[in-house]
Structure 1
Amino acid sequence: MNKLVIFGVGLIGGSFARGLKKAGAVRHIVGVDRSEAAAQRAVELGIVDEAGGPEAVRGADLVLLATPVAQTGPILAALLPWLDSHTIVTDAGSTKSDVVAAARAALGARVAQFVPGHPIAGRETNGPDAAIDDLYVGKKFVVTPLAENPPAAVDRVTDAWRACGAIIHRLTPGEHDKVFASVSHLPHLLAYALVDDIANKPHADLLFQYAASGFRDFTRIAGSSPEMWRDISMANRVALLAELDAYMAQLTQLRAQLAAGDGAGLEAVYGNAQRARRNWIEAIEAAEAPPPQDTAE
């Protein structure tokens, strides 16, 4: 690519820029951020080559929106006057149905230039200083193309993520939102709820004093951006409510077993969960394993 423009130069957008630079896949990157300090910090760190505004999309090959999903519509409306016919716009949002609706409303007949996507990677830290060049190596990138997207537009997006080391998967926007309500959005809601519950107890200081690695690991994702996860929760609330209801039913069952002293029932649930998690970890490790090195002389 000759020119890439990134809206949102924090962890997700910044790591995309760093990954492409490391791969030598882009010549010039412009960063756009609602925080002038963040944009300048991204320049200082060498994540982007310069900071700009919506007009920077003029002449770009690719534009990435790495911002909270509720900002999608306003950003697309702001960049539309500067959008060249050859420019492809994509996003990194954790929900897709709402993003597609926002894109259709903002871009109208030019929605074919928007290819929705979602990188399945992250950390609990935010901002340009959190960006790393290998965040996406071995991680999934889910592209959720529109019927209007030309194959070449989809290829431009997936080629860029592949250059960052990502493994490409494809879902429809609706499939995406149902899947991630279960395995991403619900876990974040639970982590936030647990930490908030403990923080509001009168003896919170004592509880946090004795919280150890298990609590830290379980609640790590509660360190993520509250604004971003508010937007995700509201955007995918129908699917998230369904998953939350199912989880509450599971908790009700566990409570009944605990109250009845049903140790065998509890152990059965714990054992099934342990086996499922072990199988998942083994599958993830196999999928993300580096290719074997050629040791032949």
Structure 2
Amino acid sequence: MATPLFRKIAIFGVGLIGGSFALALKKAGAVVQIVGAGRTRQSLERARELGIIDAYTTSPAEAVDGADLVLIAAPVAQTGAILASIQPHLAPGTVVTDAGSTKTDVVVAARAALGSKIACFVPGHPIAGREQNGPDAALADLYVGKKVVLAALPENAVGDVERIAQAWRHCGAVIHALSPEEHDRVFAAVSHLPHLLAYALVDDIARKPHADLLFQYAASGFRDFTRIAGSSPEMWRDITLANQDAMLVELDAYLAQLQRLRTMLAAADGAALEAVYANAQKARHDWISTIEAAEKQTRQGGD
């Protein structure tokens, strides 16, 4: 880019999500300086060693001083405290966003923390990730072709929402819009519940007296089903609790489905089981085909 989009970006949490955001914007030439902020100097120093950030600080005031954009990429339970710490130091024109996996709780926390400055906060959620955590897991191309949901507030200026969207587009992401409530209902079903199930299965196997034997014979099917159980327990604890209401709705629906399958199995009802399996197979094939078509369109410059 001839002229960088941002002079200074402050990132709270320079692990996988925040670090990948930084690397992508640097690769695109969209920012002059990136400052990292966080709880521990060790992680921040590592991020600087890796070239993810240009400088770091543990001072919220120093982090946001002169920043065009602030990204909060810490666990969702920390969002309110971080916003409260930077609120007195936010200058007019600074736009703030987050990368949290839940949105209604974040909006409540943001309103409480920012008060009259709430208009500067544009809630966001990049739909991308890996099982690894920390600065060493960051990738410059993590967001290429991935969705980023912006859950704009009524108070947000259109221009501020667009600035956040532009930042993510420079990372290679595709922008989508949902309300905070729609966001949490959707992701309870297709992201948060699957993580809970993966953790539950691995925990169940690990607690059995013959766990060593079971893990010895666990192969690719078990690995694929439980891959996401390698994610950060702290982060997913926060997400599960933050989206409690929607999670309980989805978990109850899944328990009812399991009870249906148990009834079919107990009755040796092969036809009913096959019908469920066939419906699931078709739905998954259709979903994969849709993803592949969208990715092909993105690669070829489609909208």
Fold equivalence (TM over 0.5) = yes
Unaligned runs of 5+ in 1: none
Q: Give the alignment of 1:119-268 within 5 angstroms.
A: 119-268=126-275
The corresponding residue for 2:52 is 47
User: Shift of the alpha carbon at 1:233?
Assistant: 0.5
- CA distance in 1 between counterparts of 2:181 and 2:19 reads 27
Provide the residue aligned with 2:299 in structure 1.
Answer: 291
Quote the Cα distance in structure 1 between the aligned partners of 2:241 and 2:213.
33
In structure 1, the residue matched to 2:36 is: 31
The amino acid that maps onto 1:40 is E
What do the CA deviations read for 1:15-49 (whole angstroms, capped 9, x no partner)? 00001011111110000111211100000000000
Deviations, residues 160-204 of structure 1 (Å, cap 9, x unaligned): 001000000000000000000000000000000000000000000
Letter in 1 for 2:19: G
CA distance in 2, matches of 1:22, 1:288: 21
Give the alignment's Cα RMSD to 1 decimal: 0.8
Instruction: Name the TM-score, length of structure 1 as normaliser.
Output: 0.97
Task: Find out whether 1:98 has 2:71 as its counterpart.
Answer: no
Identity %: 70
Q: How does 1:57-68 map to 2 (within 5 A)?
A: 57-68=64-75
| CA deviation after TM superposition for structure 1 residue 10, in Å | 0.3
1:69 maps onto 2:73 in alignment: no
Structure 2 unmatched ranges of 5 or more = 1-5
Q: Displacement of 1:292 after TM fit?
A: 3.4
Which one-letter code corresponds to 2:150 in the other structure?
V
TM-score in terms of structure 2 length: 0.96
Name the SS of the counterpart of 2:214 in structure 1: helix
CA distance in 2 between counterparts of 1:287 and 1:165 reads: 14
Corresponding residue pairs, total: 293
Q: Which amino acid aligns with 1:24?
A: G
Q: Which amino acid aligns with 1:105?
A: A
- For 1:286 and 1:138, the matched residues in 2 are separated by 12
Matched, 1:82 2:79: no
Q: Secondary structure at 2:239's aligned position in 1?
A: helix
Shift of 1:117: 0.4
Instruction: Tell me what 1:18 maps to.
Output: 23
Distance 1:271 1:181 in 2: 24
Residues 1:271 and 2:273 are matched in the alignment: no
* 1:291 to partner: Cα distance: 3.0
Counterpart code for 2:26: K
Question: What is the CA-CA distance between 1:82 and the residue it aligns to?
Answer: 1.5
Partners of 2:206 and 2:7 in 1: how far apart?
A: 49
1:5 paired residue among 4, 10, 16: 10
Cα distance in 2 for partners of 1:29, 1:43 equals 10
Q: Kindly provide the CA deviation profile for residues 254-273 of structure 1, in whole angstroms up to 9, marking residues without a partner as x.
A: 00000100001000000000
Moved over 4 A (4+): none
